[in-house]
Amino acid sequence: MTAALQLENVTSGYGSAIAVRSVSLSVEPGEILAIVGKNGMGKSSLLKTAMGFLAVRDGQVRVAGQDVTRLPPHTRRDLALAYAPQEKTIFQDLTVQENLRLALPGDREFAARFERVAHWFPVLGQRFHQRAGTLSGGEQKMLIVARGMLTGPKIFLLDEVAEGLQPSVVARLGEALARMRADTGTALLVVEQHIPFVMSLADRFAILKAGEIVETGQAAADNAAVIEEHMRI
């Protein structure tokens, strides 16, 4: 089976600093792989490198078998790769609808596509004409995820979507992501520090430490404590 996303010995960084060190991983179609690690370990840099926002210094990135190492982010998006960044990248003064429209300018299928996305995030339908800045933190995260899903990705990179949310909202977001994967078969590469959340969502995990993968395994809700212990070392 061809991996939805494959990184082979990928190294990247900022100036003379290395942020991602010879990382190899693959995400199979429909699979959820969690990348966990403490602050500053290179999780966001890894996703930025996969998406093409941070240049690869060494190694290769493949999307559905195609070498995209030297391709810009928009071309990777056309190959059904989507990215939900850690930063709040929505326009606060635009409505939910306008924010989503920007992801698909001129798309005639917008209404049908949105209907699909609203199935996982019904609150966005209720807030469709509301300014995005008036949404709660959790709703803004849902908007960022919805924006990525609208493009119909085969592989979706998610950077700490549960960050700063209260437990009930995290639980709802987890359920929505699980349903989204089940309905569409979209593979997810999920960066998280919220270990119980991601261990119940993901199929496999990898621990990132100083830019390197130091441990991998099967994810399960009941090994969350073990993973948290590993992360501390």
Q: Closest separation between CB of residue 207 and Mg ion, Å?
A: 15
User: Is the distance from CB of 10 to CB of 56 less than 8 angstroms?
Assistant: yes
Q: Closest separation between CB of residue 43 and ligand ATP, Å?
A: 3
Q: Which one among 2, 24, 40, 88 touches ligand ATP, defined by CB under 6 A? A: 40
| 12 scored as a contact of ligand ATP (CB under 6 A) | no
DSSP 95: B
| 56 scored as a contact of ligand ATP (CB under 6 A) | no
In this complex, which beta carbon is closest to ligand ATP, that of residue 39 or of residue 168? 39
| 49 scored as a contact of ligand ATP (CB under 6 A) | no
Strands (DSSP E) contained in the chain are: 5-14, 17-27, 32-36, 58-63, 66-67, 81-84, 155-159, 187-192, 204-209, 212-218
Q: Closest separation between CB of residue 145 and Mg ion, Å?
A: 16
Backbone angles phi, psi at 195, to 5 degrees: -65, -50
Q: Which one among 7, 10, 19, 82 touches ligand ATP, defined by CB under 6 A? A: 19
| 39 scored as a contact of ligand ATP (CB under 6 A) | yes
Q: Which one among 11, 86, 130, 184 touches ligand ATP, defined by CB under 6 A? A: 86
DSSP string, 124-170: HHHTTTSBGGGS-HHHHHHHHHHHHHHT--SEEEEE-TTTT--HHHH
Backbone angles phi, psi at 77, to 5 degrees: -65, -40
How far from each other are the two terminal CA atoms of the chain, in whole angstroms? 35
User: Is the distance from CB of 70 to CB of 64 less than 8 angstroms?
Assistant: no
| 16 scored as a contact of ligand ATP (CB under 6 A) | no
| 184 scored as a contact of ligand ATP (CB under 6 A) | no
| 42 scored as a contact of ligand ATP (CB under 6 A) | yes
52/71 Cα distance (integer angstroms): 7
In this complex, which beta carbon is closest to ligand ATP, that of residue 40 or of residue 122? 40
Q: Which residues bind ligand ATP (CB under 6 A)?
A: 14, 17, 19, 37, 39-45, 86, 193
